[in-house]
Structure formats: structure tokens, C-alpha cells
Structure 1
Amino acid sequence: MKRPLRKVSGRISATVTNALEVARMGGLETGEEPAPYAVVAHSRVYRLRRYFPTEAPLDKSVLLVPPLMLTADVYDVSPQASAVRTLRAHGIDPWLVDFGSPEKEPGGLERDLADHVVAVSEAVDKVREVTGRDVHLAGYSQGGMFCYQTAAYRRSKGIASLITFGSPIDLRGAIPLGIPENVAVKGAGFLADNVLRKTSVPGWATRTGFRLLDPVKSLQQRTDFLMALHDREALLPREGQRRYLMSDGWVAWPGPALAEFMNQFLVHNRMLKGGFTIGDQLVTLADIDSPVLTFVGEADEIAPPDAVRPIRKAAPRPDIYEMSLLAGHFGLVVGKSAMTKTWPVVAEWIAWVSGGREGAPPEAISLVGSETAEPAPPVAPAPSERVDLVVAAGTAAARSLVNSAAKSARGFGRLAKVTSTQSRRLSRIRRIDEHTRLSLALLFDEQARRAPQNVCFLFEDRAFTYADVKDRIDNVVKGLLNEKVRAGEHVGVLMGTRPTALGVIAALNRIGAVAVMLRPGGDTLLELELGEVVRVITDPEHADVDTGGRPVHSFVLDRPGETVDDTPTLERPGNDVRVPDWYSPNPGKGGDLAFILFGGDYSHPRVLRITNGRFALSAFGMATSAMLTNADTVYSINPLHHPSGLLTSVGGAAAGGARLAMASGLDPETSWSEIRRYGVTIVSYTWAQLRDLVNAPPHPGEHDHSIRFFVGSGIPRSLLRRVVERFAPAGVLDFWATSEGEAILANIDAGKPGSLGRPLPGSAEVRVVRWDAEAGEIVTGPDGYAIECGVDEVGLLLARIGPASATTAPPLRNVFERDDRWFSSDSLVRRDADGDHWLIDLLNTLVRTNDGVVYSLPITAAIGKLPAVDLAITYNLPAPAGRDMAVTAVVLCEGETLTATDLDSALAGLDATSRPSLVGVVNEIPMTEFHRPIAGPLRDKAIPASTAKRVVFYRDDSTGLYAPFTRTVRKRWFP
């Protein structure tokens, strides 16, 4: 009896003694010493450690990066849980980036994301300098995210490989506790913008937050420790690890860095999409080409597998390998399994990559996306860690239930968000009239006031915030006022694609002047005359333009206040310009003329007068139809002097608070890299502009791209089909607008490809009236008013001229009632039972044959449905006898052929007299500068007979079917 009592008494005594030590010292004294290291470099942000400095250097090394919320000792928790000791034992020389404890470092709590990424990049250079070799860069949790970001920032220069442990790419997949995505994103955005930029998160708060992610496991760990408190010898081997994770390892998280982390990578998900910024430099993981090894914890609740594995989508270029472990987040790098499985595999990986990847990779890893390699099964944990996994599995199950319950809520949340956002925009569109104060410059001011630090403009890998853009516009305004530019004055703008041009246009708009967008390469003198231009602003490339004596102000680019080659810049920072008393920023109203653009070819320019109201309709129409938010990036591939560049791209981005990325064109070789680097979600286009992208060979950047919509107008049916097929899930949002006036139609129904859609709310009223094609006039009733068409009846589309409209063509008056005014679109359409409009033809492309009028566009659309067809155009050609005949020219996709049977099938839905007389395969269809197919050069060429190399078919009037246009038939047709 005495022995059991003595045993119990001893356990109590040992428990009390150990408890007092824990209370006094924070834990049990182990007598353990950390692994030796020397600080070989340091800056205000980091210290570079080299471990085991007195031992002989090894020929393979790794640079370790910790996450912000943990100290750098996460890689050396104790001798039993030391990554650096294990690596050294396996022949790897460990280096480490130590960010220190920010709360103890001068300015540490003010560090931002760029500070840390640049610090890691500098450390890479230091290690390369010392070792003479490229660096294997390894990071845990957010440290792994820093590794990805640094590799992208450097475009993999000097980085031999990347190794990450539980490092999420898609943070939307790491939202804890089943919180609905829209709630988490909105909450994170609010915290980032309103709280974290001004404060920091202390270490105790981070530690508590992580415990709350898995409260059951946290409670069990504390209970296990208390229950074993009597057995000091059993606790000591794990005491260092316990103290680190429970108290000693946590440090403060700098507010600015956390704000950027949440804003860029959770709210906007730019690790996955691309387009995040390091300082003002644009970065995308798609620029990484170093091989990647990622460790995935199947029981990781902090960085779940679904959040980690999208590295394949974000970085399509490098080979990516994976090791899956049945472990939680900390178990990937700390604990017995990490010492026996994780770090030995890391050493094998480094040796394999350093040896040129000859032979087989480490057995425990698998190549992601390989069609031949079987994924390696998750590696089982050590027995001592299995209890943790049972608890983690229970937490995961609970999380799954909560997620299932929240699924419907998330759906309703997204719907509510979209409805709320678009309702506000639609309401604003409906309020636009000739008295509404609204302009491009005002939109920039509104966004700068709402979110000054949000990125506004992206150009040549640099990012400019709304605050930056507003400051620059204001400085240009002062320069313009100093040159006596006045409200209402017509000022020519002749500039290339760059931020300066956008600043000049917005500055003129802010003053209330009219920006006349001159076309480089056009007939400048003629456009100056048509635009009633008083003075011209150019960039240096166009400074020697002949303006017929008008003053020229050359804008020195990107050098505010400087004088270059005796040319002063218009941009005037500071307060040295006296602002005239009459100046009031953004005076423009809906009915005021804001821009003059030019359409047509260079020798016969057509004036397009754009009011502030018309600009606003286009801008908000684009933002509403594409559901733009500040998470979007609009990729403009057309210049500012083109309606697509100014009205759709610039206007839509400004109205939607989205980022605008401006390129000088769509080059398949470079555009995908830019799309990934900018994080593009919307690509603008005109006519057949996307054709080069569709016809180009597959590019690594197009896989798992971030594009939601291609937005533009006039896309041919054949091209639309191939764009949707190749770049799914991206859709095509096609607009149609009158060249003047305020009529805008948009097709937002994916089930009706090729439709013009319906009028945007707030745009001009449209009606379809009967049209006598032979007589070329509107059909009127006995009362003299126009007769509206019924459902599916082809007629002329008219748009009502509102008070804010500006047109050069004479209006049509008294069309439906006395004194009304309408604008002819010169387009024949039909309206279906749903109210959607379908373009049938333009008045100037009708084909007048002996059998009557033939509509060209239905023919082109029907033939364009054939999978073999790349592009087609239908036009009129003088017939051998009598009136014109319809001819269709076809360009085939590479390697495809066209048969008479194909044509019979494609055109079966048209009446025999509505089909083309001839269909010929050509090498290319001529296009305008902005990719609109034109028939003129084709019409000037004779139609050849069909041969093996030249495929031409004719419609046999006796059968209605198509047959080869042989020499015999040709002679009969053209004697």
C-alpha cells in the first residue's frame, strides 16, 4: 500500500515542480543549444544567416525563408526538430533569411510586401556571390509564397529550383471554418483598406488566431502536456517544439505587409491570376521557369491541398513536382515526420536538380500533370503524430459540413453582390442626360477619392495607382492652363500609346476642352481641318508634324518639369502656375462635346463626335455588361484614337474601378506573357483582331488563363466560334453601337452567339422599321409615318436622337410622330421574339441581283459555321449579264479543306436565290488597319477557274447545289 501512495506522491511532486518551472520560465529547461550560425549580410529588413560557418563548406546549398508570423527559428526548433541540422547531415549547406521580430526592429512594423520580396531577392544575390552557384530557394507557408513571388520578380534569374511547404496559391481555397467566400473577401478588403494599413497584428493575436482555426487540436495538445507534466524525461524531447509553437515562435505581422497580402492575394487572388505588384513592378508567377517541388499536407487546415496545388495553373512553364504527406500545416516542416521524410527528400531533390536532373527524381515525389507518372501516395506520419491527424480529420469533416451548409449562402451572396453593383450602375446610366455632370476626368477623380492606392494603370511592367494618375492629370492641367488652353477649345492630340497620352486626354477633359484624337499616319492636315483644331499636343515622336501653322506643344514623356532638347514639358508639378478664375475642374455635362474621333480610311476620314453623355454610356455599359470590379484588369490592344481604346477600354475600366493595361497591339508571341503578368480578365478587340491569337500555336500562358471575357464589336461568326472553343471558359461579349448618337446594343446571352443583343439601359431608344431595299427608302403608312417591323421581319434600325446626342448626319424627322428626331444606323436587322437584334446587312453591302436583293451577312455567317473556315466575306461582283451576283471568299484553317458538300450543308437554311453564286478559297482576305475585312481588293481581281490549288465552286441553278467552277463553266459565265 505504501508503494502506490509513494508513487502517487512522487507524481504529484514532479508535476508541481515541473508546473512551477513552466510558470516561472515559460517551459521546461532543456539545456539545448541552437545550431550555430553567422550573420554574413544584413539590411534594415533582414539578416542573412549561414549555418555551421566553421565547418567545411558544401557544394550544394539552400536558402530558407520563414513566414512573417513566425521567427526564423522555425527551421531550428530543437536538435530533434531542426531542418538545418538534418539538411547539413544530408550534405546540404543551409542559409536562411531572418526578418527578425518586426516589433523589435526600427521601422519593422511599417514594412510592406515589397520590402520582404526585395529582401529575399537580395539574399539570393548574396548567396550566389559567396557560393558561385544558382540558389535553391525554399520557404514554409507564407515564406514559400515569398519564394514564388521572388522567383517571379526575378523571372527565375539565379534560382536553381523552388521548394515550398504548405504555401497556398489560391487563397480563396484557404478560407477557414467554412466562411462564405464573398463574406471573407469583403471582410478582408475592409480590414486591409481601413485597419491594417495603419496598424500591425501582434504575435499573441496571430498565435491565438491559428489556435482558433483548430480549437480541438489546440485543446488536446494542452491537455496532453498537462497529463504528462509529471514525466519530465518524456516531455523534454518535444519541449522545444511545444514552446516554439505555443509561445516563443510567434512575432508581430507588419500591418502594411498584411494589408497587401490580403488585398492582392485574397481579395484579388493575384497569386493565381497574375498581375500583383512588388512596389510599382508588375509580377506574375507565369514568369517562373525554375523547377518547383511543393509539399502538400493532406491534413493541412491552414493551407489545404486545394489552395496549394493551383501552382500548376499559376506557373505553366516549369516542371512542377509534388510530395504529399499525411500531415498538418506545422507537421510539414517541424516534427519527427519532417525530419525523417520532408528534409531528406529536400536534400535528394537539391542533389538531383544540381546534377542536371539526370536519372530518376526522388522516389517520394511525382511530376504534376505527367501523363505517365503515377502520383506518389501520401507519406504516412510517424506514430507519435497520428493522434494529431485524427483530430485534424475531425476538424476537416466539421469544416466540410459547414462548407456544404454555406454553399447556398455563397451563391446567394455572389448574386446579391452582382445585383447590387450593377443596380447602382444601371441607375446612374438612366440618370444621364444633357445636364448630368459626368466625364472621363470626373470618373478618375471618383476612383482616386474612393480608393487612391488601388492600381489604375499598367504599362510596360509598371503600375500606377489612382492617386498617381490623379496627380499627373492635375499637373498636366496646370501646364495646359499655363499655355492658355480654354474650356470648349478643340485641341489636337497626336501621340502613341503610353500613360502620357491618357494623362493629356484626361487633363483636356478636366478643363472642359475637346480632345481631337488625330491618327498617326493619317492625313493630319485634313483631320485638323475637320476637327476645327486650334493647337496640337504631341509626343516627341510626332513633334515635327505639319499642322498648317497651328501651335505645337510637344510633351516630354515621363519627366515632369524638365526641358529636353529645348522642348519644355506641359506637365507642371508644384504651385508655380496661376490658375485662372474661370477654371472649375470637371465642368463637362452630358450634352457637351468631349472628344472627336475619326473613322473611315485615312484618305476619307469620317468625323465621330463623342459627347460626355455618349462616353459615359459606353463606359458604364461596358462596366455593367462585363460586371467589372476592382479585381478586373482590362487589356486594351487598340490605341486611344480608336473608339475601342477610348470608349470601351479606358471608359469601362474607369467606370468599373478596374485596372487598365494598355498594349500597342495583340502579338501572340508576347501578349500571353503580358496577360499573365498583368492578371488580365478582360481583353478588348475589334472585328477580326483576335484571329492571330486563335491561329497561333498553343502558348504556355494560355493554359488556365484568367480571362473572363473578350469584349468588342464586329467579331465574325467563324472567329467567335473558335475563340469560345479554344479559350473556354472565357466568353465573348460583343457590342454594337451607332457611329454617332447614343444607341448601344450588347449581347450578354451566351446562348445566342452572333446576336447584337438588346439596348443597354439608359442608351437611346431603337426601333426597326420597314425598308424598301429596291427603292432605298423607309416604307410609310397612309398617315405618312414609318411602319415598325414585326418579329423576325428585316428592317432598318433607327435610334432616337436625345438631347445629349452629337451627330454630323442630318437627322430623320417626323418618323413616328410630329417633330421627333431619329438617326439611321444604315443597318438592316431583325428582332426576334425575345427582343434580341440580329444584323442582316449594311445598306452599302447589299447585293442587288437579277433575282432581287441578297443579304451578305447571313451567307457569311452560315459558311462561317463550318469548322474548316477561318474567315469569310461576301460581296457583290458584276455578273456576266444583268445585275450583280453574290460572291463569298473563304480563308481556310491550316490543313483544312472545303468541299461542295460542305457548302450545300452550310447554306441549306437559305433560299436558293439567297445563296452566293460563287464561293472561292483565297489565301487571305484584306483588312483595314483595325482588322475589319474588306472586299475592295478582292472585287478587283478576276475569278479563277477551280484547280487542285485553287478551289472555287459555283451554284448550279438547275440543281441548287454547288459544283467545281471548271474552266468550261468559267468560259460559259465569262465569255
Structure 2
Amino acid sequence: MDLIPKPDQVVSAASNVAHKVLYGGIADLRPMPRTLIDDGELREVYHYRPAATTKQVGDPVLLVTPLAAPSTCYDLRRGCSLVQHFVTGGRPTYLVEYGEVSFRNRNLGLEHWVDEVVPSAIRETSAHAGGRPVHVVGWSLGGIFTMLTAADSPDLPIASITVLGSPVDTSLVPIVAPLRPLLQLNPTAGRGAVTRAYQAMGGAPKPLVKWAFQLSSFQKLVTKPLALATHLDDADFLAQIEAVDRFTAGMIAYPGRTFGQLYHRFLKGNVLRTGSFELDDRTIDLGRIDVPVLVFGGSTDGIAPVPAVKALVPLLAGSPDVRFEIVPGGHLGMLTGRAARETTWRVLDAWVAEWSTPDAEPPGTPARKPPAKKAPAKKAPAKRTAATRESIGANPQRRYGSGGSRSLSR
């Protein structure tokens, strides 16, 4: 809204305020219809129903939620929902979420997600879609779960992996850097105040998780009243604020043992930066991932800054194709912000179409390369050269090409 509002802006602002007062909000927060196809302990796998006017064809997409975040991260609101985007485009769409975490789940560790939850979700998705390979999309910790699962179980029916905002080198996260010297202090041999607190509570409770997420966007939180006042005439902006508020209010707790592993090994130990992770009696090496991987970094992401996410790229030595893209937005915005509709989602559409079964593409997907020119789906790792890595993310035909991506990183 202008400093001196124009008449049409005043009318729009008055209409938006009236709608908010009379109906409780502006955003269309109806969830996309879905059906439960599989469940277990902290595991619910859903299939989103096809749109009435669109037939679902092609390889399915499975959306993997992170711990503590509600599944509305993928279905934020009508008109700004990645689920809606896939469904209306004719792509078979599935999602795995975890339900409410309680004190009785306190002994569940990362093994539960890597050994049980994500592998089961991938297999059930493939079976429900007629045995087709699955394009697995993981945001934040969901991306880390996906990568560890794929590296540990190479027999899973995975067509490709997409990772959004998953930091593998926590030393490059600015909000953690000032705390790192304190984290390294261990005067009680692993029984410091933080450890005693999460063990006593059985994990990280909802209010703490919500506070931590808000703290990562502290500047936006402080300036939110001013932003609302200056955008009263912008219904889409106000709707997005409402949807994000609902998402934040829906945060879920962390199980105690999982939170402890994340705190001690990822945050303090930064173990994933080498690409190897010790889990139970085995070592999981990200270099064993043998499917194509697309990695997204958000240009203004404070939780998973671009360098912390890009550190993943050189660790994927066994992948036949690794691409890195920088897109607008913070940690949530890069996934389902208003700008994501024309950036992240378009790149993701092209990626899924490229690595899908040739004979079954949803209508309206980008044209595929002729089979004679397309590289084999399984290139030998030895063929990946330094020149190949320099070309990661290069695609001048994209609306949001890598030229724009590189400018955002400056």
C-alpha cells in the first residue's frame, strides 16, 4: 500500500479487513482431500485424491515431512500448495507424516525413521501406484531422512530424490555459530543442562519447537505488524500470513532420543559434513546414493543457509546426476512461499519429468528430451568429472534459471 493510499487501495483494504472480521480469515485453508493407505507407529502414509478433471498418470511423488513440522508445509493453503500443484497437474501424489509425538515415544531414535518410516512409505507408495518408482521429495529434516534411507537401502524403488533446505554442515549455519563454543563444553560428560532437560521432558515439547522456528525468523516476527499494516490491500499477502501462522501453531514435539541424537551428533558433532553417519552397528555413506538428486537452497534461509545445504553436493559421488539450485525465500518460503510457485515448483516439475518413465507423463509437463539424447539413468560414478560438477544447476531454458540462482548467492 502506498504511503498515501489510492482510492482503490482503500477499498481493497476495507474489504480485506471486513472479510477477516466477518469470516475469521482470508486464506482458503481447506486441506486437499486424501486417503490413508498405510500406518504404523508415528507413520501415516496418504494418497491425495485425483482432481475431478485430471487423470493421474506417471511415476508418483512422495512428500516426506520433517520431524516437528506439520504436513501443512506441503499443503499450506489453496493457491499456494505444492500438493495442489502436483494433483492438478496429474501427478500421483503421496505424503508421509508422523502424527502427534507423546512422552511414550521418547525412546524412538533416528533408526525408527531411517529403518521403518521412510522405507515403508516408499514401498507402500510404489505398490499403490502400480509398482512404479517413486520421486521422493524431502524438506529440511525430511530431506536428511530421505538421503540416509536411500544410502542405507539401495534396493528401494526410488526414481529420484529432491532435497530442500537440508543443512549437512551445521558449522555454516550463522544462528548456530555463536553457540558452538558453548556446545563443545562438556563438564558433565554428556549430562549437561540441555541433556538433562530433554531427557526429563521426553524430548523437545511443542512450545519450544514453535519458539525456535520463530526465532530463526526473528526480524520478520518483529516487523510483522508493520508488514500487515502496509499490505492491508493485498489479499494474497494476508492469506499467506494466515497460512504461515497456522503452520507455526501446528508444530509437533520431538521424541527424546531422536532430539538427543540431533543435538549431540548433528548440532554439536556436525557428523554429516563428511557424508558418513554411524547408526546402530553400521555406517551410512551418502556416497552410496545411486539415483539422481536435486538440491535446493533458499536465498534467505536462516535455518539452512545456502553454503550449509550446498555442502551436500560433493558428498553425492555415486549419484548419476546432482543439481543444485538457489531459489528465493527463507526456510519455509523456498518450499511453499508465493515466489515458489514460479521458481521452486517449476524446477521441480522439470526434474521429475526428466527422470520419469517415458511412456506415462502427466498432461502439461515440460517436453522431455529425445530418448537418443538422454543420458542413461544409471551412470557409473567414475564418469563424474570436475567439469560435470561445474555444470550443476545449469539450465538456461528454465524460467528461473541458474543465472538467477547464482545472483541470489552473492
Regarding TM over 0.5, the answer is: yes
Pair 375,227 (structure 1): closer, same or farther in 2 beyond 3 Å: closer
Pair 144,157 (structure 1): closer, same or farther in 2 beyond 3 Å: same
Match of 1:49 in 2: 46
CA contact (8 A) 2:16 2:235 kept: no
Q: Secondary structure at the match of 1:78?
A: coil
Q: Distance in 1 between matches of 2:341 and 2:17?
A: 33
Structure 1 segment 545-624 matched on structure 2, within 5 A: none
Match of 2:209 in 1: 206
Instruction: Select the residue among 321, 324, 339 that pairs with 1:322.
Output: 324
Q: Secondary structure at the match of 1:197?
A: helix
TM-score (norm 1): 0.34
Match of 1:38 in 2: 35
Structure 1 segment 433-472 matched on structure 2, within 5 A: none
Q: Distance in 2 between matches of 1:93 and 1:335?
A: 22
Q: Distance in 1 between matches of 2:344 and 2:50?
A: 24
CA contact (8 A) 1:287 1:315 kept: yes
Match of 1:928 in 2: none
Pair 15,128 (structure 1): closer, same or farther in 2 beyond 3 Å: closer
Q: Distance in 2 between matches of 1:7 and 1:354?
A: 47
Q: Distance in 1 between matches of 2:16 and 2:104?
A: 43
- Letter matched to residue 116 of structure 1: W
Match of 1:222 in 2: 225
Please give the per-residue CA displacement for 1:302-355, whole angstroms capped at 9, x wherever unaligned: 111221112233332113111121332222111222122212221221121124
Aligned length: 367
Please give the per-residue CA displacement for 1:739-760, whole angstroms capped at 9, x wherever unaligned: xxxxxxxxxxxxxxxxxxxxxx
Higher strand proportion (structure 1 or 2): 1
Q: Distance in 1 between matches of 2:9 and 2:357?
A: 59
Structure 1 segment 312-461 matched on structure 2, within 5 A: 312-318=313-319, 319-355=321-357, 358=371, 359=373, 370=388, 373=391, 375-376=393-394, 378=402
| Structure 1: runs of 5+ lacking an equivalent | 362-366, 382-388, 397-975
Q: Distance in 1 between matches of 2:9 and 2:290?
A: 63
Match of 1:97 in 2: 96
Q: Distance in 2 between matches of 1:228 and 1:113?
A: 42
CA contact (8 A) 1:322 1:368 kept: no
Q: Secondary structure at the match of 2:221?
A: helix
Tell me the CA shift for residue 46 of structure 1. Answer: 1.1
Structure 1 segment 687-702 matched on structure 2, within 5 A: none
User: Are 2:173 and 1:174 aligned?
Assistant: yes
Q: Distance in 2 between matches of 1:248 and 1:218?
A: 14
- Letter matched to residue 261 of structure 1: L
User: Are 2:298 and 1:301 aligned?
Assistant: no
CA contact (8 A) 2:328 2:340 kept: no
Tell me the CA shift for residue 96 of structure 1. Answer: 0.4
Tell me the CA shift for residue 98 of structure 1. Answer: 1.2
Tell me the CA shift for residue 29 of structure 1. Answer: 5.3
Tell me the CA shift for residue 211 of structure 1. Answer: 2.3
Please give the per-residue CA displacement for 1:541-593, whole angstroms capped at 9, x wherever unaligned: xxxxxxxxxxxxxxxxxxxxxxxxxxxxxxxxxxxxxxxxxxxxxxxxxxxxx
Match of 1:107 in 2: 104
- Letter matched to residue 35 of structure 2: A
Please give the per-residue CA displacement for 1:710-769, whole angstroms capped at 9, x wherever unaligned: xxxxxxxxxxxxxxxxxxxxxxxxxxxxxxxxxxxxxxxxxxxxxxxxxxxxxxxxxxxx
Higher CA-based Rg? 1
Structure 1 segment 623-638 matched on structure 2, within 5 A: none
Match of 1:654 in 2: none
Match of 2:270 in 1: 269
Match of 1:123 in 2: 121
Tell me the CA shift for residue 90 of structure 1. Answer: 3.4
Match of 1:405 in 2: none
Tell me the CA shift for residue 240 of structure 1. Answer: 4.4
Pair 265,14 (structure 1): closer, same or farther in 2 beyond 3 Å: same
Match of 2:86 in 1: 87
Q: Distance in 1 between matches of 2:333 and 2:28?
A: 24
Pair 180,154 (structure 1): closer, same or farther in 2 beyond 3 Å: same
CA contact (8 A) 2:51 2:87 kept: no
Q: Secondary structure at the match of 2:336?
A: coil
Q: Secondary structure at the match of 1:316?
A: coil
CA contact (8 A) 1:174 1:304 kept: yes
CA contact (8 A) 1:325 1:378 kept: no
CA contact (8 A) 1:61 1:94 kept: yes
Please give the per-residue CA displacement for 1:761-798, whole angstroms capped at 9, x wherever unaligned: xxxxxxxxxxxxxxxxxxxxxxxxxxxxxxxxxxxxxx
| Structure 2: runs of 5+ lacking an equivalent | 359-368, 376-384, 395-400
Pair 19,79 (structure 1): closer, same or farther in 2 beyond 3 Å: closer
Please give the per-residue CA displacement for 1:195-214, whole angstroms capped at 9, x wherever unaligned: 32342222332222222233
Q: Secondary structure at the match of 2:56?
A: coil
Please give the per-residue CA displacement for 1:400-427, whole angstroms capped at 9, x wherever unaligned: xxxxxxxxxxxxxxxxxxxxxxxxxxxx
- Letter matched to residue 126 of structure 2: R
Q: Distance in 2 between matches of 1:374 and 1:31?
A: 38
CA contact (8 A) 1:71 1:251 kept: yes
CA contact (8 A) 1:86 1:344 kept: no
Q: Distance in 2 between matches of 1:360 and 1:51?
A: 31
Please give the per-residue CA displacement for 1:613-646, whole angstroms capped at 9, x wherever unaligned: xxxxxxxxxxxxxxxxxxxxxxxxxxxxxxxxxx
Q: Distance in 1 between matches of 2:89 and 2:334?
A: 18
Tell me the CA shift for residue 368 of structure 1. Answer: 8.5
Q: Distance in 1 between matches of 2:10 and 2:295?
A: 50
Aligned-residue CA RMSD (Å) = 3.6
Pair 379,221 (structure 1): closer, same or farther in 2 beyond 3 Å: farther
Q: Secondary structure at the match of 1:81?
A: coil
CA contact (8 A) 2:100 2:252 kept: yes
Identity %: 25
Tell me the CA shift for residue 133 of structure 1. Answer: 1.7
Match of 1:407 in 2: none
Structure 1 segment 924-963 matched on structure 2, within 5 A: none
Pair 372,239 (structure 1): closer, same or farther in 2 beyond 3 Å: closer
- Letter matched to residue 335 of structure 1: G
Q: Secondary structure at the match of 1:290?
A: coil
- Letter matched to residue 272 of structure 2: M
Q: Secondary structure at the match of 1:38?
A: strand
Tell me the CA shift for residue 63 of structure 1. Answer: 0.7
Pair 96,279 (structure 1): closer, same or farther in 2 beyond 3 Å: farther
Please give the per-residue CA displacement for 1:228-286, whole angstroms capped at 9, x wherever unaligned: 45x484555425433334x4342222222111112222223222335534444432212
Structure number with the bigger relative contact order (C-alpha 8 A, sep ≥ 6) is: 2
Tell me the CA shift for residue 107 of structure 1. Answer: 3.3
Q: Distance in 1 between matches of 2:339 and 2:16?
A: 29
CA contact (8 A) 2:28 2:78 kept: no
Pair 139,77 (structure 1): closer, same or farther in 2 beyond 3 Å: same
Structure 1 segment 902-921 matched on structure 2, within 5 A: none
CA contact (8 A) 2:51 2:88 kept: no
Please give the per-residue CA displacement for 1:861-897, whole angstroms capped at 9, x wherever unaligned: xxxxxxxxxxxxxxxxxxxxxxxxxxxxxxxxxxxxx
Q: Distance in 2 between matches of 1:304 and 1:9?
A: 38
Please give the per-residue CA displacement for 1:495-554, whole angstroms capped at 9, x wherever unaligned: xxxxxxxxxxxxxxxxxxxxxxxxxxxxxxxxxxxxxxxxxxxxxxxxxxxxxxxxxxxx
Tell me the CA shift for residue 53 of structure 1. Answer: 5.0
Q: Distance in 2 between matches of 1:67 and 1:374?
A: 26
Match of 1:613 in 2: none
Tell me the CA shift for residue 185 of structure 1. Answer: 4.2
Q: Distance in 2 between matches of 1:368 and 1:61?
A: 32
Structure 1 segment 434-833 matched on structure 2, within 5 A: none
Q: Secondary structure at the match of 2:355?
A: helix
Q: Distance in 1 between matches of 2:353 and 2:61?
A: 11
Q: Secondary structure at the match of 2:160?
A: strand
Match of 2:25 in 1: 28
Higher helix proportion (structure 1 or 2): 2
Q: Distance in 2 between matches of 1:16 and 1:324?
A: 36
Q: Distance in 2 between matches of 1:82 and 1:285?
A: 30
- Letter matched to residue 317 of structure 2: P
CA contact (8 A) 1:323 1:378 kept: yes
TM-score (norm 2): 0.77
